[in-house]
Amino acid sequence: MDATKLSSERRQFSIKLWPPSLNTRQMLVERMTKNLTTKSVFTQKYGSLSEEEAAENAKRIEDVAFATANKNYEEEPDGDGGSAVQLYAKECSKLLLEALKRGPKNKVDKEVVNSESSGALHETFFDISKGQRAFIEAEEAEELLRPLKEPGNLYTKICFSNRSFGLDAARIAEPILISLKDQLKEIDLSDFIAGRPEAEALQVMNIFSAALEGSILKSLNLSNNALGEKGVRAFAALLKSQNCLEELYLMNDGISEEAARAVCELIPSTEKLRVLQFHNNMTGDEGAIAISQVVKRSPLLEDFRCSSTRIGSDGGVALSEALGTCTHLKKLDLRDNMFGVEGGLALSKALSKHADLAEVYLSYLNLEDEGSIAIANVVKETAPSLEVLEMAGNDITAEAAPAIAACIAAKQLLTKLNLAENELKDEGAILISKALETHALLKEVDLSANLIRRAGARVLAQTLVKKPEFKLLNIDGNFISDEGIDEIKDLFKKSPDMLGSLDENDPEGGENVEESGEDEGNEHELEAKLKNLEVGQ
């Protein structure tokens, strides 16, 4: 079974919590309207709002909270939307409380409040992406885009994502974009031609590209459009005119070898680029070599994502060498490619120059022990502020555990560690437990599917359950005995939510030994081996 299929199987169970449905959003508006009109401590003190005023306030509150949470969601590395949902609820609650304390206002006062509370957001950010994906035709486009035609508007960012533009709608948008292009700084055209025939989609892209040509953009998002080379070249006029881009998103765009070359050819300058994201494309080795040229020309790059792009060893080496020039890198995501050992060794050399790294995602790269040890040894000596380290699914065995544990021990700001789907066994689990003993900020550890039995699981649980910030331990899919499971659950009895599901654990797995005596001896033997591990900074 190839890596692409395995990756697909891993991802098919993921659940996205964001964005909420239109029904959910409307129900929240109705609930807040009720809170503003019915008797409560606040309405008794400050006064109830009329139905009309309450509905108006509730709608505005929900709009502002949604926009804030949606921005948070866009910045998540690969999240399920959970943090966006929490932020959405928090913002609604905060703004609702402010509205209750303000109480009823006259019309003039309301206009002042609206201007102060949401004016900056709504006057600078125009967004039609809310709700379900849908086609947009000329008549609706005329109505939706009307605010963009108002004289003196201050919009600098527009988002047309999640609405599929046909030719007629694109022609409505064209003169509007031409009139605004000198003030626009951020353009989000992700998923804006869904379901359109190729010929029509290419015409629409040409219209938008020509209308925005010459704009001085900081951020451009063309993700989720199945561009391919034809699509990239349909945006040639826009791309060729960009010399100040700081963020470029081309995720899930069918970026093949030819399309990657087109990107490299068309963008004249990436000297100011800070964010470059190519997740879920079919770039391959030759495409990665083309993208590496873009990376080399991006000395200020801070956030680079090239995950799930079918890159093998040759492409991995080229990309790694290019990354060596990006010394300001803070976030690196190369997950779900096939770099192999050679790519891993090249990457380790590049990482030696990245002192600012805070998040490193290197799961499912086929690094094996040799590549993983090389990377761990380098990261140990650099990146003092590292917060996230992911190296799941790399065929890492207990042989690499001492190097990885030593690296982890040096990263006292670590909040998340993911080493799932490797073969660390009890020996590796205990070494890593020892390395994590002094990490006060640690929140999440995943050592699922690592051939761990009772001894390793117990030591890991004992180490992590005491940490003040800890949220989740995942050790599912291992070989922990029934007695071991009971023991671990007892350790977490005061905070059961900190222990992940154990439904996939196989108590009969492993070597089928009697654990009562042999596990205890095994644990003591492993503890003795820890004496050779330097875990201090």
Assigned domain for 144 exists: no
pLDDT, tens digit (0-9, with 9 covering 90-100), for 361-417: 999 999 999 999 999 999 999 999 999 999 999 999 999 999 999 999 999 999 999
What mean pLDDT is reported for the chain?
A: 88
Alpha-carbon gap, residue 318 to 474, rounded angstroms: 35
Please give the pLDDT value at position 525. Answer: 56
**Of 57-71, 109-123, 305-319, 488-502, minimum mean pLDDT range:** 109-123
pLDDT, tens digit (0-9, with 9 covering 90-100), for 213-259: 999 999 999 999 999 999 999 999 999 999 999 999 999 999 999 99
Assigned domain for 187 exists: no
Assigned domain for 50 exists: yes
Local confidence band at 11 (pLDDT 50, 70, 90 cut-offs): very low
Pick from 206, 208, 298, 190: nearest CA to 244:
298
Q: Which amino acid is at 402?
A: P
Contacts of 71 (CB under 8 A, 6+ apart): none
Contacts of 504 (CB under 8 A, 6+ apart): 448, 449, 476, 477
Please give the pLDDT value at position 510. Answer: 58
CB atoms under 10 Å from CB of 286, counted, come to 17
Total domains in the fold of the chain: 1
- For CA atoms 214, 215, 216, 217, the dihedral sign is negative
Assigned domain for 29 exists: yes
CA distances from 530 to 399, 411, 432, 515, 533 (A): 13, 18, 10, 21, 5
Please give the pLDDT value at position 124. Answer: 92
Please give the pLDDT value at position 296. Answer: 96
Report percent pLDDT > 70 for the chain. 87
Kindly tell me if the per-residue pLDDT of 193 is higher than 50. Answer: yes
CB 479 within 8 A of CB 457: no
Rounded to two decimals, the pTM is: 0.75
Q: What are phi and psi of 187, to 5 degrees?
A: -125, 125
The boundaries of the domain holding residue 87 are 22-102
Assigned domain for 297 exists: no
The DSSP code for 397 is B
- For CA atoms 238, 242, 245, 250, the dihedral sign is positive
Assigned domain for 78 exists: yes
Assigned domain for 97 exists: yes
CB 488 within 8 A of CB 460: no
CATH number of the domain where residue 95 is located: 1.10.246.200
DSSP string computed for 231-277: HHHHTHHHHHT-S--SEEE-TTS---HHHHHHHHHH----TT--EEE
Assigned domain for 471 exists: no
Kindly tell me if the per-residue pLDDT of 531 is higher than 70. Answer: no
Q: What are phi and psi of 32, to 5 degrees?
A: -70, -35
